[in-house]
């Protein structure tokens, strides 16, 4: 579920929502960070989360920070995490429910940041939504154990525990967004997995597709190295506090 074996074209075809989100990450970073395109930082300032401006009526700032990042490392690591953990849920939930839950967990994490942080607090990044994905996976692990293999469950539990621990140890982290993203992801995920038959069929189909694919491709191709590198970078991003 978390090891990518698709080609670039296959990835885009199988996971269009994840692909579009990553495209937005890259494009918005270019628009807000490359002086040759836009000499001023006005776009970045208009999209970032600023609690003071939100309470003054600029409510779009509850959504736009999900797609804005403070630097190339921040953008790349969050995108790598999405590549690693997003596809499985996009196939399980379907495109519409996946994007709805991704945005909902990010927005609710930003609402919690608005309520619990000072008015002067500013923030950017998709980590609230990414922790929301972890929360959805945890809901599957704890509430519908039969729907996920033991190996994948261990991967999710390990990453979630490490992510929460590092949230409190690393500087410059929006702890509120991480924790509330995780909590809201678990709650919303629990609601979604109540629709058991559709979810069970989705996971069963993914497992069968993976088994068939693996049986036909035993050779270790260079593209596997790319996905392994992406996975390692995603984990380093979680541990590095970007």
Cα atoms in the Cβ-side hemisphere of radius 13 Å centred on 168: 6
Q: Are the C-beta atoms of residues 46 and 32 closer than 8 Å to each other?
A: no
Whether 127 is catalytic: yes
Q: Are the C-beta atoms of residues 65 and 101 closer than 8 Å to each other?
A: no
Whether 81 is catalytic: no
Q: Are the C-beta atoms of residues 176 and 117 closer than 8 Å to each other?
A: yes
Distance from C-alpha of 134 to C-alpha of 16, rounded to nearest angstrom: 20
Q: Which is catalytic among the residues 178, 202, 207, 212?
A: 178
State the angle between helix axes of 175-192 and 127-143 in degrees (0 to 180), rounded to the nearest 10. 40
Nearest to 193, CA basis, from 134, 116, 140: 140
Q: Which is catalytic among the residues 70, 79, 127, 129?
A: 127
Active site residues: 127, 178
């Amino acid at each position: 579920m978390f090891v990518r074996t698709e080609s670039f074209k296959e990835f885009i075809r199988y996971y269009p929502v994840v692909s579009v989100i990553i495209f937005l990450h890259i494009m918005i970073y270019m628009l807000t960070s490359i002086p040759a395109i836009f000499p001023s930082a006005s776009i970045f300032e208009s999209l970032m989360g600023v609690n003071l401006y939100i309470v003054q009526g600029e409510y779009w700032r509850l959504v736009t920070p999900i797609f804005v990042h403070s630097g190339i490392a921040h953008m790349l690591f969050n995108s790598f995490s999405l590549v690693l953990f997003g596809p499985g849920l996009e196939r399980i939930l379907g495109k519409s429910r996946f994007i709805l839950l991704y945005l909902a967990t990010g927005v609710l994490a930003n609402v919690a940041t608005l309520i619990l942080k000072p008015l002067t607090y500013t923030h950017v990044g998709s980590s609230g939504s990414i922790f929301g994905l972890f929360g959805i996976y945890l809901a599957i692990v704890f509430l519908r154990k039969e729907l996920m293999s033991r190996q994948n469950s261990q991967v999710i539990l390990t990453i979630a525990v490490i992510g929460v621990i590092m949230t409190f140890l690393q500087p410059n982290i929006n702890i509120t967004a991480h924790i509330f993203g995780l909590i809201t992801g678990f709650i919303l995920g629990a609601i979604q997995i109540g629709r058991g038959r559709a979810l069970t069929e989705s996971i069963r189909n993914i497992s069968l597709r993976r088994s068939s694919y693996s049986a036909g491709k035993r050779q270790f191709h260079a593209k596997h190295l790319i996905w392994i590198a992406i996975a390692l970078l995603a984990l380093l991003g979680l541990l590095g506090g970007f």
